[in-house]
Chain A
C-alpha cells in the first residue's frame, strides 16, 4: 500500500513541477495545487499506513493491538486549510492581474518590463 502511495506522490510531484514550469499563470496555480497536495500526502504517509488501526490507546482495533498515529492526519488537516487559503489568494491575485494587464502569460510579463525600461531610458 505504501509503495503504491509513494509512487502516486511521485507522479503528483512530477505533474506539479511540469505545471509550475508552464507559461500560463493559471497552469502555474494548478501546479501549486498539485505540489501542495503531493506534499500533504507525503506528510500523511510519514507515519505509515495501518489499515483499520485505532487512533488512541485504550480502544481495541479490528486486528488487535495495532495503533495508527493520528498526528500526521492533524498536520495534514492544518496544511490543507493553509493550502486552501493560499490558492484562494493566488487565484484572486491572478484575476486582478488579468483585469489590469489582459494577459495570462508569464513571458509577456517580462517583455512588458523591458519595454518600460526602454521608455525610461529614452
Chain B
C-alpha cells in the first residue's frame, strides 16, 4: 500500500483545490500537501534502503498480468528529490505567482503534475508509464499557457506540438514491443529479452522509444521546443519545469536502456555517447550566446542533460552511479538558479543582466544565493556539481572513452563562462545610481536557501550520497534483482 501514497496525496489535494477556496487556504494546503508528499517519499526511501525493492500489485493482479508499482533505489531517490523540489516550489509560489495563477488554479495543476510525476517514477509497467507521462504533460501544458498573453500561447504551442509527437512515438514503440513480446511489465520484458536468442527485433521499438524520450529529455537534435518555451511562463512554473520535466525523460531512458533494451550494446552506447557529446556542446554554446537570464539557464538545462546521458552511454556501474548522482545534483541546483533568477527580477525588475548591475554591493545575500547553484552547476570543488562531474569523468577515463571525457571537461568551461556572464553583468558591474532596488524578505528567499543548503551538503557529504547512488546503479546494472523482486 505504501507505494500508492505518493500518488494519493497529491490526488486528494488536487480535488481539494478545485473547490476554489480563499487564497490563504490554498497556499497553506499547497505547502502542507507537498510536505506530506516529501514525508511519504522519504518513508519509501528508508523502506527501500532497509528492506530492498518494494512492489505493489494494483488490484491484487500479480505481475506480469496486472499493473505493478516498483520502488527500487533509483526511483525512490528520484521520488525524494522531486518532492523536495515540489516543496520548494510551493513555498516560492506564495510570493512569485502572477495574478492569472491565483485562487488555487496553480495548485490544481501543480498537484496533477505531482501525480503524474510520482506515478512515472514508481510504475513498473510500460503502458502505465505512458499514461502517467501524459497526465504530467497535460498539466504542464495548462501551466505553460495559463493567462492570455500572446507570448505565452506561442511558446505553449511549440512546447505542446513536439511533446505530443514524442508521446505518440512512445505509444507506437509500446505497441511494437507488445506485439513482439506479449507483455507490458518491465521486469517480464527484461526476462523475455534475456532468454531470447534473437533480439534484433528490439531495435525498432528501442529506436522509437529513444526518440520519444529524446524529445522529452531535450537531447541534441530534438531539443528545440525547450528554449522556445521555458522562459515564457511565470518564473515559478519555469523553475518547476526546469527541475523536473526533462529529468523524467532521462529517468525513463536510464530505466529502459539498463533493464531491457540491452541488445546490441555497441551500437546503442555509441549512439548515446555521440548524442550526449553534441547535447553538451550545443547546449553550452547556445547558452553562452544568450542574454536573458532565463534563456541562458534554459539552454543550460540541455547542456547538463548531456552529462546524464553520457553516464548512460559509458555504461559501467561507476558511470551509471555518476549519472544518478549528477541527476540529483542537477535537479536541485537547476531549480535553484531559476528561483534566484526570479528573485533578481523581483529586486531589479528585469531578467536581462545587461539592465541590472551592482547587486553585489546592494544585496550580498542574493549574491551568495546565486553563487551556490551557479558554482555547483559549473562544478567548483566543494559543491555538489564537482563530484557529479568528477565521477562521470573518472568513469569515462577508466573505460577508455577519452573523447567524450574531453568534451565533458570542456563543456564545464562553457558552463562557467555563461554563469560568469550573469555574475559580471548583474552582480559585479556598477549599477546605475538612480535604479530602484526592492528589499528581499527572508520568506521569499527561503526556498532558495533550502535548495542551496542541499547543494552544499551534497558536496560536503558526497560519500554517503554517492554510496546510495552506487547502490541504485548496482540494482540498475544487475537487473536480475529487479526481475526477481517483481516476478516472485
Residues of A at the B interface (CB closer than 8 Å) are: 20, 25, 28, 32, 35-36, 39-40, 42-48, 69, 71-72, 75, 78-79, 82, 85-86, 89-90, 93-94, 96-97, 99-101, 106, 109, 112-113
- The segment from B173-181, B362-370, B397-405, B470-478 that touches chain A is B173-181
Expressed in whole angstroms, the minimum distance between the Cβ of A61 and any Cβ of chain B is 19
Question: Taking chain A's interface residues, is the majority helix, strand, or loop, or is none over half, making it mixed?
Answer: helix
Task: Report the Cα distance A48→B148, complex, angstroms.
Answer: 46
Expressed in whole angstroms, the minimum distance between the Cβ of B42 and any Cβ of chain A is 32
Q: Are A89 and B141 in contact (CB under 8 A)?
A: yes
Known: A39-B175, A43-B172, A96-B148. A78 touches B154 (CB 8 A): no
Using CB atoms, name the residue of chain B closest to A87.
B164
Known: A36-B168, A43-B175, A75-B178. A86 touches B138 (CB 8 A): yes
A71 to chain B: which residues have CB within 8 Å?
178, 184
Task: Report the Cα distance A101→B161, complex, angstroms.
Answer: 19
Q: Are A39 and B141 in contact (CB under 8 A)?
A: no
Using CB atoms, name the residue of chain A closest to B175.
A43
Given contacts A39-B175, A86-B164, A94-B157, 13 further A-B contacts (CB under 8 A): A28-B161, A36-B168, A39-B172, A42-B175, A43-B175, A44-B175, A46-B178, A46-B179, A75-B175, A86-B134, A93-B153, A96-B153, A113-B154
Q: Are A93 and B172 in contact (CB under 8 A)?
A: no
Number of interface residues of B (CB under 8 A): 29
Residues of B at the A interface (CB closer than 8 Å) are: 127, 130-131, 134, 138, 141-142, 145, 148-150, 153-154, 156-157, 160-161, 164-165, 168, 171-172, 174-176, 178-179, 182, 184
Q: Are A46 and B176 in contact (CB under 8 A)?
A: yes
Using CB atoms, name the residue of chain A closest to B177.
A46
Q: Are A100 and B179 in contact (CB under 8 A)?
A: no
* Nearest 3 CB-CB pairings of A with B: A46-B179, A43-B175, A46-B175
Q: Are B168 and A97 in contact (CB under 8 A)?
A: no
B165 to chain A: which residues have CB within 8 Å?
20, 32, 35
Selected from B131, B142, B157, the residue in CB contact (under 8 A) with A78 is: B131
Expressed in whole angstroms, the minimum distance between the Cβ of B151 and any Cβ of chain A is 8
Expressed in whole angstroms, the minimum distance between the Cβ of B62 and any Cβ of chain A is 16
Q: Are A90 and B178 in contact (CB under 8 A)?
A: no
A43 to chain B: which residues have CB within 8 Å?
171-172, 174-175, 178
B182 to chain A: which residues have CB within 8 Å?
47, 69
Task: Report the Cα distance A42→B154, complex, angstroms.
Answer: 31
Question: Taking chain B's interface residues, is the majority helix, strand, or loop, or is none over half, making it mixed?
Answer: helix
Expressed in whole angstroms, the minimum distance between the Cβ of B157 and any Cβ of chain A is 7
Task: Report the Cα distance A97→B158, complex, angstroms.
Answer: 12
B168 to chain A: which residues have CB within 8 Å?
35-36, 39
Task: Report the Cα distance A43→B167, complex, angstroms.
Answer: 13
Expressed in whole angstroms, the minimum distance between the Cβ of B208 and any Cβ of chain A is 10
Known: A25-B157, A39-B171. A100 touches B150 (CB 8 A): yes
Using CB atoms, name the residue of chain A closest to B174.
A43
A97 to chain B: which residues have CB within 8 Å?
150, 153-154, 157
Expressed in whole angstroms, the minimum distance between the Cβ of B109 and any Cβ of chain A is 12
Using CB atoms, name the residue of chain A closest to B137.
A86
Q: Are A93 and B154 in contact (CB under 8 A)?
A: no
Task: Report the Cα distance A94→B142, complex, angstroms.
Answer: 13
Known: A45-B179, A96-B153. A82 touches B145 (CB 8 A): no
B164 to chain A: which residues have CB within 8 Å?
32, 36, 86, 90
18 cross-chain CB contacts under 8 A: A32-B161, A32-B165, A46-B175, A71-B178, A75-B174, A75-B175, A75-B178, A79-B130, A79-B171, A85-B138, A89-B138, A93-B141, A93-B145, A96-B153, A99-B148, A100-B149, A101-B154, A112-B150
A79 to chain B: which residues have CB within 8 Å?
130, 171
Using CB atoms, name the residue of chain A closest to B131.
A78
A32 to chain B: which residues have CB within 8 Å?
161, 164-165
Task: Report the Cα distance A45→B156, complex, angstroms.
Answer: 33
Task: Report the Cα distance A32→B167, complex, angstroms.
Answer: 11
A25 to chain B: which residues have CB within 8 Å?
157
B176 to chain A: which residues have CB within 8 Å?
42, 46
Using CB atoms, name the residue of chain B closest to A109.
B154
Q: Are B150 and A47 in contact (CB under 8 A)?
A: no
Task: Report the Cα distance A42→B169, complex, angstroms.
Answer: 11
Expressed in whole angstroms, the minimum distance between the Cβ of A20 and any Cβ of chain B is 7
B142 to chain A: which residues have CB within 8 Å?
89
B178 to chain A: which residues have CB within 8 Å?
43, 46-47, 71-72, 75
Task: Report the Cα distance A69→B65, complex, angstroms.
Answer: 13
Expressed in whole angstroms, the minimum distance between the Cβ of B68 and any Cβ of chain A is 15
Task: Report the Cα distance A39→B168, complex, angstroms.
Answer: 7
